[in-house]
Structure 1
Amino acid sequence: MPKRIAYTFDPSTGVPPGVAPFSHAVRWGDTLYVTGQMPTDPATGELVAGDVVAQTKQVFRNLAAVLAHFDATLDDALMVRVYLTDFSDFDRFNAEYVTWFTGPLPSRTCVGSTGLAVGATVEIDLIVGLPS
């Protein structure tokens, strides 16, 4: 039976610091659960300026930085959960979202939220199948 292994990364690794008590990722066998990433610049620990597209780009860079520690990419994502604070951003978010995947898109849920940590407009978490 697999053992649960939790990972927390230092900002010097390209992964931004956590905004609450959590692990950046938890591995169970060949499955990786990646905590929701915020549009935080890992170099400064600050929220990136800009609209939903600018924030989405930073969130995906942060997710990719976590996945790189496991020799995985966004194309290994099985399930994506997206949180948006303004659904009028839905179409612009989707236009940016699809540019981050080269293979078939993972399954996805998009949730409207009245607020996110650090004043973000978007947060994304992942369930990833790790490559063998």
Structure 2
Amino acid sequence: MKKEVIFTEEAPKAIGTYSQAVRAGDTVYLSGQIPLDPATMELAGDDMETQIKQVFDNLSAVAKAAGGSLADVVKLNIFLTDLVHFPMVNQLMAEYFSEPYPARAAVGVAALPRGVGVEMEAVMVLG
């Protein structure tokens, strides 16, 4: 099966040895996105709401570059350094996704890249 690397300037550039997403057949694996502004590569906002929205915007941009949208996401993994923010993730997720919602996991972690409080990755199926 042929793999296709997905890249867009509308999402932060990879800050390591990975691609923003990789398409294999009809499945697209979106790498973890943190709340970086793609134009500046700096943290977006000082508050968690702004940062969560930026992560959803970044995932949306990569999904679009792959030929899909967040509506095509079948699995979403959420990583939070403080699970107190989980209700806010749920609230904001309703602004970006509609039913049927993707399968999802939310995991509390000790730390994330660049000291951010949230990271999300997704699996999308096209076609």
Q: What is the TM-score with the length of structure 1 in the denominator?
A: 0.90
Distance 2:99 2:78 in 1: 19
- The structure 2 residue matched to 1:89, chosen from 85, 108, 111, is 85
1:63 paired with 2:59, answer yes
Deviation at 1:70, TM superposition (A): 2.2
Deviation at 1:62, TM superposition (A): 0.5
- The structure 1 residue matched to 2:44, chosen from 44, 48, 52, is 48
1:22 paired with 2:18, answer yes
- Deviations 1:77-130 (Å, cap 9, x if unpaired)? 000000000011111221111211123100001010111001111100000001
Flag as ranges the 4+ runs of structure 1 deviating above 3 A: none
Structure 2 SS opposite 1:35: strand
Q: How many residues were matched structurally?
A: 127
Please tell me whether the aligned partners of residues 79 and 109 of structure 2 are also in contact (alpha carbons under 8 angstroms). Answer: yes
Q: Which moved more, 1:39-48 or 1:97-106?
A: 97-106
Distance 1:123 1:51 in 2: 14
Q: Which moved more, 1:63-72 or 1:32-41?
A: 63-72
- Deviations 1:27-66 (Å, cap 9, x if unpaired)? 1100000000110001101011222211110001111111
Q: What is the TM-score with the length of structure 2 in the denominator?
A: 0.93
Distance 1:7 1:92 in 2: 29
